[in-house]
Structure 1
């Protein structure tokens, strides 16, 4: 599309949006990509529906979805200029069992990428959106779920990525737009909430700060904001030259789109920088994440100006600091949550945001997760949804403002090298099914795995820990049996994260099985049985990265127990325990969060 056509289209939209009309009627939009071409349709209020259509979305089998729509609606950018934004409206097939009208949740997505194909509405249609699991979980609750694309995913535009107010406007205006879809059953006066993580956490927190002024008629009952970039200079410094360097580059591109005069990227970027920007605009999250990892901003600027030098330019520093959160806030309950091992957004600046909010109102809940960025996104979902249920029910939130707990500090792996995700004592919910006895043995609750998953060189190395435990087995009679599972060597595996966000783990670990004693209660006879050769447990799994932090990843299969050495009981125990067909099921989940 030519610059002339883009400018003409923008002028037509601006004129149309500014033209008042007596009443607004919903219009059904076109099929295909024509839906994303902005029409000349009159609207007179933020959130007015420009047009809509039935949507086909792929949330996976069993999703609680009754109906889906694509919408285009009027909103405003961070400077107050009118714009058009697209999004998706999802109606749950589950009945709302609470009081009053079905609540409405604006789900603010995190970083998706700047290419039009990265738009949440398009990825939901394709079934490739990496946040589908959280969206499905919200639909299970019976909510109507609204997913804005944010500004810039219309045809020919570039998203204003990380422009906080623009994102918040889009997340608020979709409430009104959804209520105007004919027969969708969304009540504009129903209780509403916003939930987001990372870029979405920034969006949600901005909603909490501006909702009273921007959307005073909205019945906003809660804001859930996780992994939140609250102090932009601090976050930018943390990202620069580190694992998440691509997000800094994307932020410069997005903010320069919103503030072209104040952040003149065409003048600031070197030839290498302009090439990187052009490339970046054609990629989605799991493509550019690895392509620009550990790159310093200075490698893209004229004269190799570094981040500190750029922030000293008054217009740039002003616009970057304008994205900071805090200093304001509506008196609406806020849930903030963060991972201590977050390698993209440091937890300390999130704690400072909590303190700022607590100085202004006392409806702040703060949760800490022992996980890195992507894991926390999905691990936190059940807790967030419980918190939202409580807000929709009108309950008072748990208050973290008067907690005496020490401030959490980052234990993230240092940036600048390989992208390593540390699994620190992750819980292993494990069981073994003994073939001959046809009985299942559950390993103790403290069973865990500690490992480093190196995403860069695609390796995973770690250790299995299984404490000694007692179980009951029927060996002619019910006996109390003292068992041990003794790891042999380390867990060794490959891990591959595809550019579609699909994680594949392939590896194995070995362990000996020991029957230490058997008897009744405290009266046990020692046997000291041990397998002659360790059993091999294949650890093979493939699925969306969401499973890594949500319901856990499951390794299952069959193994063989070698013969045991048991002294005078060798023949009996070998007949009962040794042999092929021993089934195992290991579910690996991150540790529980802390509550402050």
Structure 2
């Protein structure tokens, strides 16, 4: 499975490589609008500040424990500085004020907005759902942002970091949650780890007022350009995930990643099939296809415009560093997110004085996610308790 994921990621860059060969601008395919008007953006976003609550509603989260829940629509910012409306769902154990607040970035490999945690928490599709009762039992409030944003821009990692931070602001501004002065922790794995890492690195400048006490991230692909060096365009079982990532990046960078201009008829058909799909449909519809089949020329991987999009979403290349201590875990044989890039990112943060506990675990991407999670939650417990952060820098 993890070898498939590595090749699938490489295929994504093969698709993207052909996109900077010409200059016409295409129109990105948006997801189908959610029929629930709660998610609809009000027309007057500009006057609001990042993290302002636009609307909120209670939701039943009793399946996860003795907790109250709310969904919040709030103001955030996209990758070009424009205002957007984003969503988070917060679960709060009953009783108490200013409980520790954990922003949990779920893995969202999807192009439909219905695939985000605000939906999957309630339809049985959230992969990380089994962890929530134990986290609530610790006395923590847990917020799960839809960190791909209102267009489900799968692949746009920096955007995810901004949405995470503004989601925390929104939760702390919701009076009913009584979390206005809570210490904050961040966690996530793989794609959720990308949003977590970006939130941690952006926080000192983007949201310096937040009291983030710890950042636990695992299996993070920190350098997207490096992944492009492993191109592969043979038919692949998980090709759909790669293809979906190109469509997600097009949604966030329509003039710089004009996918439609370079797709073959087969590529256009697959685009239409998965434009509003969740993970399993994307995998099923894309299985056995390839970049060579779907694009006209996937050979120019070093195109400057394309590489600049990769670099802007590569945590290793972002000069900012977290202010809070970090716990990072990674598999020694991780073929999706290379260990070397993650280690280089940690070394740079260590060199800047960030306390980092970096645990390298045996195994590939999938097994490491399970093996590292208990240590991450135990580490966060220490940060919420105010204990000094360990470091093996």
Taking structure 1 as the reference length, the TM-score comes to: 0.56
Give the structure 2 partner of residue 36 of structure 1. 39
For residue 89 of structure 1, give the secondary structure of its aligned residue in structure 2. strand
Give the structure 1 partner of residue 159 of structure 2. 166
Change (3 A) 1:137 1:294: farther
Partners of 2:39 and 2:196 in 1: CA distance: 25
Q: Quote the offset at 1:315 in angstroms.
A: 1.3
Residues 1:374 and 2:378 are matched in the alignment = no
What are structure 2's unaligned runs of at least 5 residues?
1-26
Contact 2:109 2:154 (8 Å CA) reproduced: no
Partners of 1:148 and 1:201 in 2: CA distance: 13
Contact 1:240 1:248 (8 Å CA) reproduced: no
Determine which structure has more spread, i.e. the larger CA radius of gyration. 1
Contact 2:326 2:354 (8 Å CA) reproduced: no
Q: Quote the offset at 1:78 in angstroms.
A: 1.6
Give the structure 2 partner of residue 136 of structure 1. 133
Partners of 1:215 and 1:171 in 2: CA distance: 10
Alignment of 1:516-531 (within 5 A): none
Give the structure 2 partner of residue 502 of structure 1. none
Give the structure 1 partner of residue 206 of structure 2. 214
Give the structure 1 partner of residue 92 of structure 2. 91
Change (3 A) 1:273 1:32: closer
User: RMSD value over aligned CA atoms?
Assistant: 2.6
Partners of 1:126 and 1:119 in 2: CA distance: 11
Give the structure 2 partner of residue 124 of structure 1. 121
After superposition, what is the alpha-carbon deviation per residue over 1:48-81, rounded to whole angstroms, capped at 9, x for unaligned? Answer: 00001111347x4xx3341111110000012211
Q: Quote the offset at 1:150 in angstroms.
A: 2.2
Partners of 2:359 and 2:237 in 1: CA distance: 24
Change (3 A) 1:286 1:137: farther
Residues 1:387 and 2:375 are matched in the alignment = no
Change (3 A) 1:272 1:384: same
Partners of 1:250 and 1:391 in 2: CA distance: 36
Partners of 1:145 and 1:274 in 2: CA distance: 39
Match of 2:248 among 254, 271, 292: 254
Give the structure 1 partner of residue 257 of structure 2. 263
For residue 71 of structure 1, give the secondary structure of its aligned residue in structure 2. strand
Change (3 A) 1:109 1:237: farther
Change (3 A) 1:32 1:141: farther
Give the structure 2 partner of residue 182 of structure 1. 175
Alignment of 1:190-201 (within 5 A): 190-201=182-193
For residue 72 of structure 2, give the secondary structure of its aligned residue in structure 1. strand
Alignment of 1:497-508 (within 5 A): none
Partners of 2:352 and 2:53 in 1: CA distance: 35
Q: Quote the offset at 1:152 in angstroms.
A: 3.6
Q: Quote the offset at 1:180 in angstroms.
A: 2.7
Partners of 1:293 and 1:349 in 2: CA distance: 29
What are structure 1's unaligned runs of at least 5 residues?
11-30, 402-596
Change (3 A) 1:41 1:262: closer
Q: Quote the offset at 1:47 in angstroms.
A: 0.2
Paired residues in the alignment total: 358
Contact 2:190 2:219 (8 Å CA) reproduced: yes
Instruction: Indicate the structure whose relative CO is greater, using CA pairs within 8 Å and at least 6 residues apart.
Output: 2
More helix by share: 2
Give the stretch that moved more between structures: 377-386 or 209-218.
Answer: 377-386
Q: Quote the offset at 1:365 in angstroms.
A: 0.9
Match of 2:144 among 144, 147, 151: 147
Contact 2:104 2:188 (8 Å CA) reproduced: yes
Partners of 2:360 and 2:280 in 1: CA distance: 25
Residues 1:52 and 2:42 are matched in the alignment = no
Alignment of 1:321-340 (within 5 A): 321-326=311-316, 327-340=319-332
Give the structure 1 partner of residue 11 of structure 2. none
